[in-house]
A and B are shown apart, each in its own frame.
Chain A
Amino acid sequence: MMVRNVDIAVLGAGPAGMAAALAAAQGGAITVLIERENHLGGILKQCVHDGFGLLRFGEKLSGPEYAGRFVHMVREAGLPVLTSTFVAEAHRNSEENILMLVDRSGVTELHAKVVVLATGCRERSARQVMIQGTRPAGVMTAGAAQYYVNVLGYLPTTRCVILGSGDIGLIMARRLTLEGAEVLGVFEAKSTPSGLSRNIAQCLDDFGIPLHLSRTVTRIFGDDHVEAVETAAVDEKMRPVVGTEERLCCDGVILSVGLIPENEVGEALGVPMDPVTKGPVMDQNGETQVPGVFVCGNAGHVNDLVDYVTESGERAGAAAAAFVAGRHKGRLLPVMVDSTVLLYAVPQFVDMDSPESHAVVYFRSREELGTTLVQVAARGEMVARHRYQHLRPPEMERLEIDLSLIPADATSLDIGTESIVAAEVKS
């Protein structure tokens, strides 16, 4: 069996992986970009709608256009790319990562000083939202429906309901409607939508598609193929309310019920995971708790903007190259969130000796909040603050912390709203 050595192996050639590989190569490391498909671009290839790249390029691009710009950069940089190549197994010895790669020529053992995980995320499936019973055709995730319509050119349903109000579900409500299918409604068990408000406006309201909040699909009828669904209102504990059931005839159930970071390779390499984000515990440069394993993009935590995915890829790639050149992380400060207000914040740790003067922290709120002042405190001193007009769980927010403002004896960074910081100052 062939054995090869590289400095950095980037796994996944979506927006995170392409940005990471470009930054790693620019940092002087021998880098290889590994992709299991025959195309670069990841999920962006099937995201034909626009809205990508406003922060990055100041333009509203479609997914393929955004990906295309990075594909051209990868080609121009002459970056070694291994497509149709699958990581079948991964483990570590004392100093490096060992990946068993399978491609059309066979199996190769790749030794990499650093692995950058850019493996993206997966959609939660019907089984994961407790839809049990028979498996009639016609139940599929929004991403699968998107692949059928946009890549294969098939219309997988003529009359459907959408369960869950995630962004891909909203985008597919519009897409299926435009292609001639009838979308009866979007059903969301929670009392607030999961997708961005602009997608509710431009994907549902534009086409008169109803959004039913606090209502879910309780049963799917049909043996070989979906024939109907039963929907029902749910109470605050998400239990169906008896007497509110309604039967709708349809041939499709499209699921948009959440995304989960994909970390099979990371787990094989022994990377500790955060149970809330379902991604690796990391610092602001994407370095995990296993030296020589970095993460970026949706494998780290699910983002709602590709622009932020690219940003995280660039940081991880540059830091991975610095690691190869001999840089080791410094003192790590844990980032603590007020979990009554915020769902999570990433990174989980800030490397105080990072070469970048600022650390970028992303966070989501637990519930919808009005105008809110979010503050970061260290040893009771405020080191960053930003006023947000509103905070909503579907909208990830971004905050920059100037590392030079953090007191040398700080033991943690505490993120909360004004009252929390005030309480700390007093104590």
Chain B
Amino acid sequence: MRELTCIVCPNGCSLQVNQDVDPWHITGNLCPRGIEFARKELTNPTRTVCSTARTSFAAARRLPVRTRGEVPLASVRSVMSEISCLVVDREVQTGDTLIENVAGTGVAVVATADLADLIEGEDRNGRSICSGD
């Protein structure tokens, strides 16, 4: 019997997996995603990697990024080292691809913020309350 914590949603169900029977007997899940998670977790565990990338803009030194999908847990370190080599030098937007196939996983690394917003901030759009509407 294996005990797992489902990480699919904030419920964090405690799953019990009996691997002695075929198919595995999985209990403790509140929804079907828990069964899918347990199967994957015990065969090929995967994670989304979220991090930040260096930029060439002084006003926003880091750009939040993540893998578009999940990568094998064992590849997380190599995904991180590839992200750490990245320097973003154009004003990318949320969802833009920064690395096509990170660490040979077949998964892309994408921006999760608009770099122009991070650089310029909101003051360029907003007004001073004294300037009138």
Contacts and interface: CB of A to CB of B under 8 A. Distances in A.
A230 to B, nearest CB: 31
B62 A153 contact: yes
A324 interface: no
Interface of B: 4-7, 9-10, 12-14, 30, 47-52, 54, 61-62, 64-66, 73, 76, 80, 94, 112-114, 117-118, 121-123, 125-131, 133
B5 A197 contact: yes
A150 B125 contact: no
B7 A202 contact: yes
Interface in A78-126: 80-85, 101, 103-106, 108, 110
A397 to B, nearest CB: 10
Nearest to B49: A178
Task: List the 6 closest A-B pairs by CB distance, nearest first.
Answer: A38-B121, A197-B12, A201-B5, A198-B12, A64-B113, A48-B64
A395 B14 CA distance: 14
Interface stretch (A49-57, A135-143, A183-191): A49-57
B122 A35 contact: yes
A197 to B, nearest CB: 4
Given A83-B122, A108-B130, A197 B14 contact: yes
A39 B94 CA distance: 16
Contacts of A305: 10
A38 B122 contact: yes
A201 B12 contact: yes
A68 B94 contact: yes
A65 B73 contact: no
A200 interface: yes
Contacts of A413: none
Interface of A: 2, 4, 32, 35, 37-40, 45, 48-51, 54, 60-65, 68, 71, 75, 80-85, 101, 103-106, 108, 110, 149-153, 178-179, 196-198, 200-202, 205-206, 304-305, 389, 395
B76 A198 contact: no
B112 A65 contact: yes
Contact of A83 (B9, B13, B73, B126): B126
Given A83-B123, A178-B80, A50 B66 contact: yes
Contacts of A37: 121
B12 A48 contact: no
A101 B130 CA distance: 10
B81 to A, nearest CB: 10
A71 B117 contact: yes
B93 to A, nearest CB: 9
A65 B52 contact: no
A198 B112 contact: no
A40 B122 contact: yes
5 contacts: A48-B64, A108-B130, A110-B129, A179-B80, A197-B5
A299 to B, nearest CB: 21
